[in-house]
Structure 1
Amino acid sequence: MRDGSLNLDDFDDLIERPHSGIRRDAEERRLRTGLPPGALGRLDELGEWLAAAQAQVPVKPVRSPRMVLFAGDHGVAGLGVSARPAGTAHTLVRATLDGHSPAAILAREFGVPLRVVDMSVDCPAGELPAEVTRHRVRRSSGRLDTEDSLTADETEQAFRAGMAVADEEADGGTDLIVLGDLSVGGTTAAGTLIAALCGTDASVVTGRGGGGIDDLVWMRKCAAIRDGLRRARPAQGDQLRLLAAVAGADLTALTGFLLQCAVRRTPVILDGVVSAACALVAQRVAFRAPDWWLAGQSTGEPAQAKALDRMALEPLADHHVSAGEGTGALLALPLVRAAAELAAELPEVTEPDPADDTDPDATGTGTGTSDTPSALDAT
């Protein structure tokens, strides 16, 4: 950013689309493998997308993926809008670090290193490892229905933290990010962001969240998003102001992370409604940024469907995994890796040279006569 200041307009200049010429080269190479067009379905599309992101043909296999989870509590959870009690994101973080969560188990099975970034978990920092808490902005975020979730300074701090994590991953050689969140109340903040940016009502974007909430909790969540929208809509022309109003520290960091990943040409697999909401905010900042992201799966959340449709991102799978924590994005990783392996390893078929297609009699291998000496002449 210029002069050390955070100017979101800079992202529009810094982010370029994956190389379209390379993508055409990858498509032409695929045609030369001899497999019928469409035989590999979306694997062809994924291989070409990766080639364009890497700016090379044939594509390199995905060797160094990384799972990154941003963690935080949201004050709005105190209204009873979540299946989990308010202020319990630390239990999600601890289960993940201990290897007991669904995402941690799958990451271990797939051989994917996992990183947790605490932005606003509501517990003493000393209860979690220092490498997890070093970017923390505050304990929990403000109640989005009645107050800003962050101050202006906290918003910039969280946004920059997300950018810094993206730079650390790119500098460390990560070639693909699997993105997720560990939050309590995060889907309420995500629904508010998506409703504001898509110009729709709270009831249209209010889903059941990762815990499968009942009707009473759904109504409380819908009311919280409705009240949050009153505060979010006046701010939607200024994305930092919008994030300060309703996003919280974890979603703000996620937004900065996504934009900086696009700057650094690092592909990202999105998970559920939270990462989709942050991606939608990031698209408002830089319209080319979504070209660097894949939607891992459809969760069934109406807000996620609206956000992905607005960004023209088609989910890779329709598992309806609503557990969050990056689980759905992680399930898409084997598909992406398979596409990369096929695009890298499928051999090209060499067409016969027409000049070699001669009359066999002319070479003395047919039934006619020839002046060419043979082994029989030597006897």
Structure 2
Amino acid sequence: MALDPVFEPITLRLPELPAGLKLPHVTPTTDTLLDHALRQRLTPAGFPENVLGRIEPLVLQLARIQHGSPLPFDLLAFDSPQLVVFAADHGIADEGMSELAQSMTCEHVMQLLLGTAPVSALAQLHGFDVTVVDAGVGSHITLPDDARRKAPLLLRKIGYGTRNLMIGPAMSQTQAMSALHAGMDVVRHLPGNVIALGDVGVANTVSASLLLSRLCGVPLVDACGRDDFQGESLNDDGLKQRLEKLSVAASRHRKALGPFDALAAMGGFEIAMMAGAMLQAASERRVVLVDGYVASAAALVARSLVPATTDYLVFSHRSAESGHRLMLIHLQAQPLLDLGMRLAQGTGALMAWPLLLSAQALLER
């Protein structure tokens, strides 16, 4: 007699990755002996253990990342820190998922290039070189002839915005693979051993919420809070309508179960490139500062593709989106700051930078 289907064992086989996808090797950083030695160095004489609170695990993580040789570990060294901001548009914006006009993506990119964005001031303060990547902005980016550019623009455009995922996959598998490889290539050509990652893209929090729901099993109603949609707060009817649309979209892509398939079906060009950037940076033993909700969605994809990548990710802050709190829980990540920010562009990552400098100083005493 056959078992009731409810009691049959569930065997879920995730789809295989495309043959052309080339993922870098990432070495785990686990080092128990180094952790023990550093804890002894960090604890002041006459004090109990763990008096430094959450700074201690940050110091240990940074030291593990930089301890990649058989030589004894000495001090932390941060060289040529880089801020890379990936920009792209999303077809789902056509469904009224943001009060911001899609043209604001291009406007925010212009601010970054001219050095007038909030994160530009922080980059100048902390000595970060800024690079802006056009991963898939929906229009050409053209500066006025008399404009003085403060940051370079890398043209890595996969398309003029993703497709509307209500109708079909946001990206083809070829586009998603190209975006991942492009993100790897961007990092491969940057100097330094620290990279902060930020994003620009109207309605990209929608893709972040859909990826959270699909890859972590979080109900959409929890992944998409009232204030998670960019722009003004929604009333109950507006929130209900948007959740209904997203439920239809999630159902349409119900076969996209693995991280790559989910990324292609519901992600964005900038999310894919950030995930590729994280993979490459981790393979080169760089410290990766992860910004907010959308960057964390890229981290979720990167971790799902190569689990050891997580060892190299420093989650800078918890943003105001309710979905970000749940995403960090699933990533088992403790953010350094919680300031209620939702600006993206890497702002939160650079806000947290002084804590990394403090970690460095604690080992120099």
Superposition TM-score, scaled by structure 2 size: 0.85
Match of 1:141 in 2: 162
Change (3 A) 1:246 1:93: same
2:109 paired with 1:93? yes
SS of alignment partner, residue 70 of structure 1? strand
What displacement does 1:34 show?
Answer: 6.4
User: Aligned match of 1:158 in 171, 174, 179?
Assistant: 179
Match of 1:213 in 2: 233
Match of 1:203 in 2: 221
Mapped to 2, the partners of 1:32 and 1:193 lie a distance apart of 43
Mapped to 2, the partners of 1:19 and 1:312 lie a distance apart of 16
Change (3 A) 1:325 1:213: farther
**Counterpart contact for 2:260–2:301, Cα < 8 Å:** no
> Once the two structures are superposed, what CA deviation does each residue of 1:165-208 show, in whole Å capped at 9, x if it has no partner?
12122xx2x22111110111110011111111111222111132
SS of alignment partner, residue 233 of structure 1? coil
2:118 paired with 1:102? yes
Q: Where do 5+ consecutive residues of structure 2 fail to align?
A: 1-17
What displacement does 1:32 show?
Answer: 7.1
Match of 2:4 in 1: none
**Counterpart contact for 1:82–1:217, Cα < 8 Å:** no
**Counterpart contact for 1:26–1:58, Cα < 8 Å:** no
> Once the two structures are superposed, what CA deviation does each residue of 1:65-99 show, in whole Å capped at 9, x if it has no partner?
21111100101111221131124311010011112
Q: Where do 5+ consecutive residues of structure 1 fail to align?
A: 347-379
Mapped to 2, the partners of 1:32 and 1:17 lie a distance apart of 29
What amino acid sits opposite 2:248 in the alignment?
D
Mapped to 1, the partners of 2:45 and 2:91 lie a distance apart of 55
Equivalent runs, 1:118-267 vs 2, <5 Å: 118-126=134-142, 132-169=153-190, 172=191, 174-207=192-225, 208-209=227-228, 210-215=230-235, 218-237=239-258, 239-267=259-287
**Counterpart contact for 1:72–1:122, Cα < 8 Å:** yes
Mapped to 2, the partners of 1:34 and 1:119 lie a distance apart of 53
What amino acid sits opposite 2:62 in the alignment?
L
What displacement does 1:317 show?
Answer: 1.0
> Once the two structures are superposed, what CA deviation does each residue of 1:207-266 show, in whole Å capped at 9, x if it has no partner?
3245343236544542343233223431122x3222211112111111111112111111
Superposition TM-score, scaled by structure 1 size: 0.82
**Counterpart contact for 2:84–2:132, Cα < 8 Å:** yes
2:55 paired with 1:37? no
Mapped to 2, the partners of 1:234 and 1:196 lie a distance apart of 10
> Once the two structures are superposed, what CA deviation does each residue of 1:304-344 show, in whole Å capped at 9, x if it has no partner?
1122111110111111111111111111111111111221x
Higher mean C-alpha deviation, range 188-197 or range 38-47: 38-47
Match of 1:75 in 2: 91
**Counterpart contact for 1:73–1:88, Cα < 8 Å:** no
- Considering fraction of residues, name the structure with more helix: 1
What displacement does 1:156 show?
Answer: 1.5
Structure of higher CA gyration radius: 1
